[in-house]
Amino acid sequence: MRGPVVADTADTTYHHGNLRAALLERAAAVLAESGPDGLSLRALARDLGVSHAAPSRHFRDRRALLDALAADGFTELNRRLSEAAGAPGDTESRLTGAARAYVRFAVERPALLGLMFAAKTEQDPTSCLRELGHESLRLAAALVEQGQREGLVRPGDPHRLAQVAFSTVHGLATLALGSLLDDTPLDEALDLAVDVLLHGLRAPAASV
């Protein structure tokens, strides 16, 4: 060893131990630029200079790889959300910041967000993925609870109110990714959504 060589160029020395990490890294790049359908285990193995059967040691399935990518996506999203939720400022600006962080994530990694929520549809077991998704909702619920203490949000189960808030922001991200927002600047659409949402959360339940 001649020094603290952490990661020179991606020469040829994967193989021992970091194949799993290398697969995930390369897979994330391919997903971002070719979508999930462009992601092939064999091509991945080829890119990494490894036999086409090698990935199966680290991921039983193609699905397992996809799920791992989605899990990493939720982890990163939750990191950003909790950072935004812990930022200085009042609860209203924190909630706005979290919404912005969510939409930013969606715009930066559209295919990944799609995978995160598409994967769940075909899931059943005690999935690690579902747990990570719940963590997102828990972060939102914590913000809602803060808002309730300040009288900014109506009384009621913070988890249920958080489901509504999450729906609005996630739905808007979906519209944006689907080019369904047209000429509306995403920032403006988001500001309006947050405004409507905050007013709706404040008002006491009664109308319906």
Partner DNA sequence: ACCTGAACACCGTTCAAGT
Please report how close the Cβ of residue 51 comes to a copy of itself at its closest, in angstroms. 25
**Which span sits near a copy of itself by CB under 8 A: 13-21, 24-32, 80-88, 108-116?**
108-116
For residues 11-70, which are near a copy of itself according to CB under 8 A? Answer: 35
Site for DNA (CB under 7 A): how many residues? 23
Q: Does 103 bind a copy of itself (CB under 8 A)?
A: no
Interaction of residue 134 with a copy of itself, rule CB under 8 A: yes
Residue 189 interacts with a copy of itself (CB under 8 A)? Answer: yes
- Cβ distance to DNA smaller for residue 67 or 77: 67
8 A C-beta contact, residue 71 and residue 132? yes
- 90-103: string of b/e by CB count within 10 Å (b at 16+)? ebbebbbbbbbbbb
Exposure string (b/e) for 30-39, b if CB count within 10 Å is 16 or more? bbeeeebeeb
Q: Per CB under 8 A, which region of 4-12, 19-27, 78-86, 112-120 contacts a copy of itself?
A: 112-120
DSSP 65-112: HHHHHHHHHHHHHHHHHHHHHTSSS-HHHHHHHHHHHHHHHHHH-HHH
Q: If binding is defined by CB under 7 A, does position 40 make contact with DNA?
A: yes
The two three-digit tokens of residue 66, written as one number = 């996809």
Whole-angstrom distance, CA of residue 148 vs CA of residue 92: 11
Positions touching a copy of itself (CB under 8 A) are 35, 92, 96, 110-111, 114, 117-118, 120-123, 130, 133-134, 137, 156, 159-161, 163-164, 166-172, 174-175, 177-182, 184, 188-189, 191-203, 205, 207-208
